[in-house]
Structure 1
Amino acid sequence: MRLHTGWITGAIAAVILNGAAFADVTVSQSNDPTAAIGGTLGGLLGAERQALNALPEGRLTELAVGPKVETRTTPGKAAAVPALIRYDMAWLAAQPEPVGDAQWECLSKAIYFESRGETLRGQFAVAEVILNRVDSPDYPRTICGVVEQRGGGGCQFSYVCDGRADRMRDPEAMWIAERIARVMMDGAPRTLTMGATHFHTRWVRPDWARRFPQTAAIGAHLFYKQP
C-alpha cells in the first residue's frame, strides 16, 4: 500500500514539474500535440478569467456592449444630423422641428429668396455656398455677415438690395428653407458643390465666372469656387 501511494505521489509531482517546464518552452515535446494545445489554451483562459474578475462591473458592461456615446447639442439647435442625408421631402420632414437664432434666420431667408422654386438639391447647394463663405478667410465670419455683405456698389446677394421687404410669404417654401438651414447649420455634409463660394443663374454671366473654375451645375444655377 505504501509503495502504491508513493508511486501516485511521484506521478503527480512529475506532472506538475512537466507543466512548469512547459511554460518556459515554445515548442511542445509531447507526442500528443492536442494535449499541449489544450493545456496552453486552458492556462490562457484561466489568466483571462482572473483579469476579467478583477474589472469593475461598469467596465465589463462597456466591454460587452461598447462605450456609451453621448450626443452633445447646442441650445437652440436640433439633434445631430446623420453623416448621410437624402435630398427628398420625406427625409426633410422627418427632421426635428427647426429652431434657431438670428444666424439661422439669415440663412433661411437667403435660401428662400435665392433658390425657392428650385429642387431640394438646388436649395441645399445655395446653403452650401453661404456656409463655405463663412469658413473662408476672404468673407465675414458669420452667416448674417456673409448674406448682408455689400461692396462694389451692390450686394453679394441680390435680394438684400432689391428694395423689397425680406418677408417670406410662401409658407411651404419657408418651411423648406428653415429646415434646410437648420440641417446645414447642424453639420450636414456639403457634397453638392465641391466647396463652391459663388453661384449665378444660367441666364447671366458675371465677370468672375470667367476666372473661377466651375464646380457644379444644379437646376437654374451654376456654381464656382474662388481660387
Structure 2
Amino acid sequence: MRDSVSMKFAIPKLRSSACIACTALVLAGCSTLGGKSEMECMERAMYFESHRSSRDGLIAVGSVVMNRVESSQFPDTVCGVVGQKGQFASGVLSRPMSERDLPKVREAARAVLGGERHPLIGNAMFFHNAQRRFSYGNMHYVLVTGGNAFYEKRRKNLVTQPVPPPPIEELTGR
C-alpha cells in the first residue's frame, strides 16, 4: 500500500520536474531539433538563403520564416520551419558558417525574432532565387531583394503581380 501511495505522488512530482525542465529549455531558447536554438535556426536560414545580400534581403528571408511559424500550414517553431525537408537550402542546419558573415546575420536574426518584419513581405511564405522563372499561375510576387523573389500563393484570379518586380536595390539605389 505504501508503494502505491508513493507511486501516486511520485508521478505528479516527476511531471512537475519535467515541466520545470521544459520551461527552462524554452526560456533558454533551446529547441528539440538537433539542440539548436531558435536564434541559431533563424541565423542559418538567413545565412544560407541570403547571406551575401543586404540587411534588407536577410530581413525578408526572416520575415518569410516567421510568416510560416505563424501559419497553421507549417511547424510552429523557427527550427521546425527551417528544418522542413526540401524547403530551405540543403544542409541548412548542418553546414558550417563563416564567422566573417555572422555579425550581420546575427543582428538581422535578433531583429526578426524581436518582432521586426520586412514592410513589403506581407503574408508571403515563399521565395526562390530571383533569376529563376516559373510558369505557375498562382504566384503573386511582392518583392525582389537579396537575390530572392518573394511571393504569396493565391488563386489564379487573385494574382495581380505574376512576374517578379525589379529588385528593390535597383529601385532604391541600395
Aligned to 1:221: 148
User: Is residue 168 of structure 1 aligned with residue 103 of structure 2?
Assistant: no
Contact 1:196 1:223 in 2 (8 A): yes
Where does 1:6-21 land on structure 2 (aligned, <5 Å)?
Answer: none
Task: Pick one of 121, 124, 144 that aligns with 1:193.
Answer: 121
- Give CA-to-partner distance per residue, 1:61-114, whole Å, 9 cap, x none: xxxxxxxxxxxxx9558xxxxxxxxxxxxxxxxxxxxxxx61111000110111
CA radius of gyration, larger in: 1
Count of residues in correspondence between the two structures: 123
Aligned to 1:104: 39
- Taking only the aligned residue pairs, the percentage that are identical comes to 29
Contact 1:114 1:159 in 2 (8 A): no
- Give CA-to-partner distance per residue, 1:21-64, whole Å, 9 cap, x none: xxxxxxxxxxxxxxxxxxxxxxxxxxxxxxxxxxxxxxxxxxxx
SS of match in other structure, 2:149: strand
Counterpart-to-counterpart distance in 1, 2:61 and 2:83: 15
CA RMSD of aligned residues (A): 2.4
Give the C-alpha shift of residue 206 in structure 1: 4.4
Where does 1:4-153 land on structure 2 (aligned, <5 Å)?
Answer: 102-150=37-85
Runs of at least 5 residues in structure 2 that lack an aligned partner in the other structure? 1-25, 30-35, 155-174
Contact 1:104 1:182 in 2 (8 A): yes
Task: Pick one of 110, 117, 125 that aligns with 1:182.
Answer: 110
Aligned to 2:4: none
Q: Would the alpha carbon gap of residues 183 and 219 (structure 1) be closer, same or farther in structure 2, given more than 3 Å must change?
A: closer
TM-score (norm 2): 0.63
Contact 2:64 2:125 in 1 (8 A): yes
Contact 1:121 1:192 in 2 (8 A): no
Counterpart-to-counterpart distance in 2, 1:206 and 1:107: 27
SS of match in other structure, 1:141: coil
